[in-house]
Amino acid sequence: MLIKQAPDIQPSEITAEAVYRERRRFLGGAAALAALAVTPAQAALPPYKKNAYGGGETANTWDEITHYNNFYEFGTDKTDPAKYAHSLKPRPWTLAIEGACRKPKSWDIDVLTRAFPLEERIYRLRCVEGWSMVIPWLGFPLAGLLKQVEPTGNAKYVEFITLHDPQQMPGQRQAILDWPYREGLRLDEAMHPLTLMAVGLYGRELPNQNGAPLRLVVPWKYGFKSAKSIVKIRLVEQPPISSWMKAVPREYGFYSNVNPEVDHPRWSQARERRIGEFLKRPTLMFNGYGEQVAQLYSGMDL
């Protein structure tokens, strides 16, 4: 099979042993000041254009989106990021793009935010544990950013590298993953119009626990592909090894497209639970974006 799907799992079931052994001891003595990171007074961003990509679905609430997160840099429980992400300092922040490109470049995050017109895009998010959300992201297509550096013919893949700073991200003091967090896409996936660099949600700057100040959003893939708090992008010739591929290669593949027709060896991936709802709903092929992205995988065994 060419596309190995990320499973629909609970972290304590198949992720690295260190994850579930440390989850109750993690940050036991930390002060619970992180409510400041999710205040609705989050700063507003420049004017933006609204584009609803969510098929008319109602977005999850600010509270749901900012209090139920996977961000192991701040803990392995879903509530840990909202509690502990106050330690992240999203300013000053620089994004660098390097590798197989003619014009490598770095941007200050505020310069970057002003340089590209922002759009609101209401995307579904499907996570490997079987839950999903609908989120009104604010951002700009990654393609426009990559065009600025002029990829060469050797650029076949794009690697995303996130912040490595255990002082700001205390979860990195634990051997949960081989830090910093890394992810990757094929260049054509990265250049697809749906692939977004998000800098906010609900009209405000991105909260720390949601990947401030800059994160990737690839809506047809499982959520772990959408790297948070990105500091570097590298254009490379060979497929990058992502953090979860390295940690649990049997469970995590490079593509990780949402495919309800491929079961995990121990359970079905056919259904999901939307946060805020009690009953499960069918999982959509490519998370509902098949019409836009299926051609990227023409001829491949899904």
Predicted local confidence at residue 18, as pLDDT = 44
* 40-72 residue pLDDT tens: 446 678 889 887 676 678 999 999 999 999 999
> Does residue 39 lie within any of the structural domains?
yes
* pLDDT reported for residue 212: 98
Task: Judge whether 177 lies within some domain.
Answer: yes
Residue 302 inside a domain? The answer is no
Q: Is residue 2 part of a domain?
A: no
The answer to whether residue 3 scores a pLDDT higher than 90 is no
Residue 207 forms part of a structural domain: yes
291 inside domain: yes
pLDDT computed for residue 43 by the predictor: 66
244: domain CATH number? 3.90.420.10
Confirm if 221 and 255 have CB atoms less than 8 A apart. Answer: yes
**Tens-digit pLDDT profile for residues 77-101:** 999 999 999 999 999 999 999 999 9
35-44, 99-108, 212-221: least confident range: 35-44
Domain that holds residue 25: 11-297
Domain presence at residue 98: yes
Q: How confident is the model at residue 56, as a pLDDT? A: 76
- Between CA 182 and CA 184 the distance in angstroms is 7
User: Global pTM?
Assistant: 0.86
Mean pLDDT along residues 232-239: 98
When mean pLDDT is compared across 22-31, 61-70, 99-108, 195-204, the lowest value belongs to 22-31
pLDDT at residue 171 in the model: 97
Q: Convert the pLDDT of each residue in 113-122 to its tens digit.
A: 999 999 999 9
Give me the number of domains the chain comprises. 1
> Quick one: pLDDT at residue 31?
39
d(C-alpha 227, C-alpha 296), whole Å = 21
Asked whether residue 235 is assigned to any structural domain, the reply reads yes
